[in-house]
Structures are given as C-alpha cells and as structure tokens.
Structure 1
Amino acid sequence: MMTTRDEKLVFAVSPAGQGDGVPILLVGVPKGAWEFMKDGKTHHFDLTKAGVPVKLMFFGAESHAAAMKVIDDAMKASGTAYLDERRTDFAIKPRGTS
C-alpha cells in the first residue's frame, strides 16, 4: 500500500549526536502519519543505509496495553526474547550532563 507524503513519518539522523559521536534519530509524527498507523499499519526504517546500525519499526495502537500485546504476541510467535524496559529512563540528557 502506497502512502501519501502527509502519511509518512519525518526523520533525520544526526551522526555526531551531541558531539559525543553517538547518533541521534529525530522522528516527527504528522497527524496524517498517526492516522495511517493508528490501526496497526507500520512505518519502518533501515538506518544501516545511513551508517547507523539499527532498524526501526513504528506502529499505532489504541492503548499502551494494546501496543504491548502486539509486541508480546510477535515475540512469542517468533520465539524471540525481549527485555521489558518500560520503567527505564531513556531520555536524552542535555549535553554535558550524565
């Protein structure tokens, strides 16, 4: 299924990050992209093409529990273990702080 430009996520990669050499991915979710994803459709990116060793998949869900169920069901079906890090703070700290 083709998406229109307004249904696509907007993203950029800052390879140097905050000057520490750790890339930062910036993602914008326009209203049209959320509308496209909200019933489970996905947007996905292979950032290895930009030299960043990560692949990302975004999807929409009605609630936190519904999103976790999608992930849990997919991991169980594939036999893949995953870490539940929902209580870990992954916020990017201002430059110069730890």
Structure 2
Amino acid sequence: MRLGSGSRIAAAVQARSEHALAATCDTPDKLAALYDSMEVVGVTCLGAAHAMLARTTFDLCIVDEATQVLQCTVLRPLFAAKKFVLVGDPDQLPP
C-alpha cells in the first residue's frame, strides 16, 4: 500500500494507493483489517505517524536518504519496526 497524497503517487502505483484500496471499505473494522493485511507499506517518515498505523509494527523498516532526515522525524518508523536498515550517503550535499 502506498500512503500519501494521490497527486504525488506515480500512475503505475495508483491502484495500490491508500485512497484506491480504502474505497472498498465501508466500515472502520474493514479499514483496520485492510491496513493490517498489507505486507508492504510505502510511506514517508512523517507519513508513518498516520493514525491507522499507530498500533502497527513492521518486520522491517528501510529508510532511504537516511543522512538527510531529521532524527525526530525518523523515530516513529524506527520504533515501529523489529529491524531497520538506514541507507544514505553521509557525504551527500543537501538539495
């Protein structure tokens, strides 16, 4: 499932977006079950604070551009994961 603004999600992934998948849920319980059933969730570090993910734990969290993210922003996804991988170049110049 790809969380985020529909306008910022690539067309090839739109069918797997939160908006498209959640449209099939007519009760809060079905929506919660949908989120729980996802094997892969694509989300930004800030998006990991999404209300539906509040009680979710993940087997693995991969943070790309880890040297560019603020520590306070990355804490939620890291605490929600059993294992994590931080990927980044410490010598990369900021945008």
The higher-RCO structure (CA 8 Å, 6+ apart) is: 2
Q: Specify the structure having the higher radius of gyration (Cα).
A: 1
TM-score range, shorter chain: under 0.3
TM-score, structure 2 length as denominator?
A: 0.28
Higher strand share goes to which structure? 1
Structure whose residues are more often helix by fraction: 2
TM-score, normalization: structure 1?
Answer: 0.27
